[in-house]
Amino acid sequence: MSGLRLRLKSAPAGRLDLSCLQPDPLTARTADEVARLPFEDGTLGDLFEITAIADANTLILAGPTSACDGIGDGLASGTLVVEGDVGQYAGRFMKGGRLDIRGSAGDYLGAGMKRGLLTVAGSAGNFVGGLLPGEKFGMAGGVIRVGGDIGDRAGDRMRRGTIVVKGKTGAAAGSRMAGGTIWAEGGFGPGAGPLMRRGTLIGPKAEQMLATFSDCGEHDMVFLRLISRFVAAELGSLAPPPLPVKVRRYAGDMATIGKGELLLTG
Amino acid sequence: MLIKFTGGKVYDPANGIDGQVRDIYVRDGRVVTPSATDTISAEYNLAGKVVMAGGIDPHSHIGGGKMNIARMMLPEDHRHDNVARGDLTRAGCGHAAPSTFVAGYRYAEMGYTAAFEPAMLAVNARQTHAEMGDTPMIDKGAYVLLGSDDYFLRLLTRGADKEEIKDYIAWTMHAAQALAVKVVNPGGISAFKFNQRMLDLDEKNAFYGVTPRDIILTLGRSLQELGVPHPVHVHGCNLGVPGNKETTLATIRAAEGTPIHLTHIQFHSYGTEGDFKFSSGAAEIAELVNQNPNVSIDVGQILFGQTVTASGDSMRQYGNTKSANPKKWVVMDIECDAGCGVVPMKYRDKSFVNALQWAIGLEMFLLVKDPWRIFLTTDHPNGAPFTTYPHLIRLLMDKTFRNEMLRRIHPGAQAATILGSITREYSLNEIAIMTRAGPAKSLGLKDRGHLGPGACADITVYDDNPDREAMFTTPAFVFKNGEMIVRNGRIVHVVAGATHVVRPEYDRKRTEKPLKDYFETYHTMRMENFRMADEEVITAGCGHAPGTCGCLIVQPVGTRK
């Protein structure tokens, strides 16, 4: 089984739903076969220049823009590499495999993700690892790593899994969080953790910390070494430097059950 | 302009035609008998195809506030069934609680040309008619809810004269632009507000002191005397409660020969035997239905998968909230006149209870002998969305398929049902009765559900496919008032569809005098505003021949045949 490279011939005029492009079924076919597959009113070949590559079970998507939605939606296995920006819902409900976005991502990156590894070189929009209206939980597992900043309300109703951000989060990161970890190397934006029930937020600083987070003092926690080791193993060279021996712990959100924590390393 | 439909196998049970090859002629939206001198301006060759009147769904929740709540509550259910705008059709979403437009399109694409909303609360009539007005392609109408509203219960409590009660029923039907009258958990919705969590047939409402038996009998007799064709549409007591078959049997006997229609009877046919204290009461109820020609039923079959239950029965829906899946629900009072409960539900074939519910519905279909008194419904969306009808028809028509499905359900349920031993298979003629002729007759739609001269030319043409599910999913042609609206299961022409009402006679002056005082004292709006005008129902472009109906079709009252 080899891989495929799909290059978008021209930037789409409107929104384009590319959730159907999955490495697993597509790389089992030849480039010609894939080009003949129906897509919207024509075929995939109308939209993409398709060539075979050597990497096994790998799909490279070149030239997408922020108008391309749903890339890697429900990805279960294989590797999907995106050379360009992506729109909303990238890696939504991902169940496994690896999605590497070499550009930036829109809203709802990895919303409802269950397993697998999702990396973004640039920045990402709001609701990273969150959920859509009507759903009960956000991210339930796997690892998301964003190279730049992310938007508001990352990890909304997140249940499990890890989000690592090189830059800063927007407002209200970890809102309604029920579990999991958000590690922001650049710190948290205003009002992190509203209605957070459980889960962990880690960063050097947090702007306008909510009044419902209580200072628990400095702690030396085993968890710090575990999460550092886990992230290093998952992300390799992309992993942040290990956490310090001691962090300042704030418990919250006391407006709910208050079993969540905000760990300040700075 | 005379259109000829040539050589189709016609199933028109109302006129005694059972699969004979007949030609049908249509002029100005009506089936006619042509004279020798007429020239034919269009002809459809239907050789080898099956021709029936357009389908009629007598119990489908397509309007009223509860459906909007269901739509709002389940965005994730819509997300997987987005419907894009077409050249003719509007955008929307589907599955359990489809948007009004998609509901209309999907009914037509399935060969149905009419569907009736069974639970319109008079105070919500405007909303219901607005939603039905936005449901294109099909004819519609609504049954107004009585039986838990304050004024009606007050009349019963003070032992009002039966003429006064009849006047109030007729006034409500006029005010709400209704086709029939439904009662939901008679007196029970009201009793729920007085902290009663159950109300059996002979139990008194704590506040008004009336029993469900009084309410059903009063409504049934009054409607018969008013000449409303459809008998009182009864959603009985104890919906979904194990052991409720006793209540249902008692309700049939309580009618004392008065015509009644028992709706979604599957939900009312449960016994308490077996390890799970849940068993089928279908055989006993079917036997009593067979013995009582005054009783008609619709089934409310459940089919497996995600759906949402929406009912006026806030008492029983409150009981169901613990089974909500996904876990979210709404139970509310509406203006102290009725209630509303919306609870999402996922029926699973590996659950003993759900699997047995499925089997009970099918047992009921197969054990009731007279297809003129049993109608095909899933109580959309409570048992399953109406889009599952073709699958249900196949279950009824194909014993092998049915037994194959039976083998997949919970083994305990397989052992608890007699379904496997029933060999009956419905014929196309019987399907035509229970989905067309029967509902039309029961609702008093004189010119629908059949293809005799004078009938409205709502015609569905199917390919005679041995896979009945495929056959009923994709009709070859559907005609509404003689115009082709669907070809090969796709919309080719959009029409609006009419609203059917029934207007029994009554003394308006005598009725409104005390009512006006009542509204001034207790209600949130004036009596004059409560009443709906015809202009509020009529929408432009109903697709009917000019001058014949506008958009509101008043069905005649008269003694029931």
Question: What tens digit of pLDDT does each residue of B297-353 get?
Answer: 999 999 999 999 999 999 999 999 999 999 999 999 998 888 999 999 999 999 999
Q: Which of B347, B373, B405 is the last residue of a domain?
A: B347
Convert the pLDDT of each residue in B185-214 to its tens digit.
999 999 999 999 999 999 999 999 999 999
At B493, is the pLDDT very low, low, confident or very high (cuts 50, 70, 90)?
Answer: very high
Cβ–Cβ of A132/B75 closer than 8 Å? Answer: yes
Cβ atoms within 10 Å of A255's Cβ, excluding its own? 14
CB atoms inside a 10 Å sphere around CB B65: 19
Look at residue A266 in the predicted model and tell me its pLDDT.
85
- Calculate the alpha carbon distances from B238 to A157, B203, B310, B377, B515 in Å: 38, 12, 16, 20, 32
How far does B530 lie from chain A, in Å, by closest CA?
35
Please determine, for residue A31, whether its predicted confidence score (pLDDT) is greater than 70.
yes
Q: Given CB atoms, is A133 within the 8 Å cutoff of chain B?
A: yes
User: What is the band of A246 on the pLDDT scale with cuts at 50, 70, 90?
Assistant: very high
Exposed/middle/buried for residue B230 (C-beta within 10 Å: 0-12, 13-18, 19+)? buried
Residue A210 dihedral angles phi and psi, to the nearest 5° = -65, 145
- Distance CA(B35)–CA(A256), nearest Å, equals 80
**B292 within some domain:** no
A134/B contact by beta carbon, under 8 A: yes
Q: Which residues of B touch A132 (CB under 8 A)?
A: 75-76, 79
Domain ranges of chain A: 64-264
Quick one: tokens of A132? 């859509």
CA dist., res. A151 & res. A132, Å (int): 16
pLDDT (0 to 100) of residue B549: 46
Give the gap in angstroms from C-alpha B77 to the nearest C-alpha of chain A.
Answer: 8
The answer, yes or no, to whether residue B542 has pLDDT greater than 70, is: no
A-chain residues within 8 Å CB-CB of B79?
A: 132, 134
Structural domain boundaries enclosing B10:
2-53+449-491
User: Does residue B552 lie in a domain region?
Assistant: no
Q: Which two structure tokens, joined as six digits, stand for B355? A: 């699997």
State how far the Cα of A96 lies from the Cα of A92, in Å rounded to an integer.
11
Last residue of a domain, one of B458, B491, B524: B491
Is residue B104 included in any domain, yes or no? no
Q: Tell me whether A135 touches chain B (CB under 8 Å).
A: yes
CB atoms within 10 A of CB B185: 30
Residue of A148, A79, A150, A77 lying closest to A115 (CA atoms) = A77
Q: A1 falls in which pLDDT band (50, 70, 90)?
A: low
B481-505 average pLDDT score: 93
Residue B310 placed within a domain: yes
Sign of the Cα torsion B227, B228, B231, B233 reads negative
Q: Measured between beta carbons, which residues in chain A are less than 8 angstroms from residue B327?
A: 136
Contacts of A136 in chain B (CB under 8 A): 326-327
Q: What is the pLDDT of residue B560?
A: 53
Closest CA of chain A from B48, distance in Å: 34
Whether the CB of A236 is below 8 Å from some CB of chain B: the reply is no
- Sequence length of chain B is 561
Tens of pLDDT, residue by residue over B212-257, are 999 999 999 999 999 999 999 999 999 999 999 999 999 999 999 9
Q: With pLDDT > 70 as the criterion, what percentage of chain A qualifies? A: 100
Cα distances from B347 to residues B306, B344, B394, B481, in angstroms, run 6, 10, 19, 38
Q: Is residue B93 part of a domain?
A: no
CATH number of the domain residue B13 falls in = 2.30.40.10
Q: How many domains, in total, are found in chain B? A: 2
Residues pairing with A262 in the sheet: A201, A250
Q: Which pTM does this prediction carry?
A: 0.89
**CA nearest to A137 within chain B:** B326
Q: What is the DSSP string of B415-435?
A: HH--GGG------HHHHHIII
Using an 8 Å CB-CB cutoff, list chain A residues near B80.
Answer: none
**Average pLDDT over chain A, rounded to whole?**
95
Stretch among A59-63, A91-95, A224-228, B335-339 having the lowest mean pLDDT: B335-339
Contact across the interface for A136 and B79, Cβ inside 8 Å: no
**pLDDT reading at B550 higher than 80:** no
User: Is A134 within 8 Å of B327 when comparing Cβ atoms?
Assistant: no
Smallest Cβ–Cβ distance between A135 and the set B73, B76, B327 belongs to: B76
Q: Is residue B243 part of a domain?
A: no
Q: Is residue B37 part of a domain?
A: yes
Residue B191 domain-assigned (yes or no): no
Q: Looking at beta carbons, which residues of chain B come within 8 Å of A138?
A: none
**Pairwise CA distance, residues A150 & A123, whole Å:** 6
Q: What would the mean pLDDT of A213-219 be, rounded to a whole number?
A: 96
Residue of B nearest to A135 (CA): B76
pLDDT digits (tens, 9 = 90+) for B417-450: 999 999 999 999 999 999 999 999 999 998 999 9
Cβ–Cβ < 8 Å for A85, A31: no
Q: Is B251 left (phi over 0), alpha (psi -120 to 50) or beta?
A: alpha
- Tens digit of each residue's pLDDT (9 = 90 or more) over B71-81: 999 998 998 89
Residue-wise pLDDT for A69-103, tens only, equals: 999 999 999 999 999 999 999 999 999 999 999 99
Cβ-based contacts of A135 with chain B (< 8 Å): 76
Other CB atoms within 10 A of residue A133 CB:
8
Per-residue pLDDT at B543 exceeds 70: no
B69, B74, B78, B79: best to mutate for the A interface, most A CBs within 10 A: B79
Chain-chain contact of B79 with A134 (C-beta, under 8 angstroms):
yes
**Residue B346 distance to chain A (closest CA, Å):** 15
Given a cut of 90, is residue B558 above it in pLDDT?
no
Burial state string for B265-277 with b = 16 or more CB within 10 A and e = fewer than 16: bbbbbbbeebeee
Rg (CA), chain B: 22
Interface of B with A (CB under 8 A): 73-77, 79, 326-327
pLDDT on residue B36: 84
A172 vs chain B: nearest CA distance in angstroms? 24
User: What percent of chain B lies above the pLDDT cut of 70?
Assistant: 97
More confidently predicted of B561 and B275: B275
Residues of B in Cβ contact (< 8 Å) with A133 = 75-76
Contacts of A134 in chain B (CB under 8 A): 73-77, 79
- Nearest Cα to Cα of residue B451 among B21, B24, B1, B4: B24
Q: Is A217 exposed, middle or buried (0-12, 13-18, 19+ CB in 10 A)?
A: exposed
A–B CB contacts, 8 A cutoff, strictly below:
14
Locate the chain A residue with the closest alpha carbon to B325: A136
State the average pLDDT over residues B97-105: 95
Q: Is the dihedral of CA A137, A141, A142, A148 positive or negative?
A: positive
Mean pLDDT of B44-61: 96
Of B77, B79, B326, the CB nearest to A136: B326
- pLDDT the model gives residue B37: 87
Side chain identity at A152, as an amino acid letter?
D
Residue contact A136–B77, C-beta within 8 A: no
Using one digit for the tens of pLDDT, what is the confidence trace for B357-410? 999 999 999 999 999 999 999 999 999 999 999 999 999 999 999 999 999 999
Among B347, B379, B401, where does a domain finish? B347
Do β-strands B42-45 and B2-12 pair in parallel, antiparallel, or remain unpaired? parallel
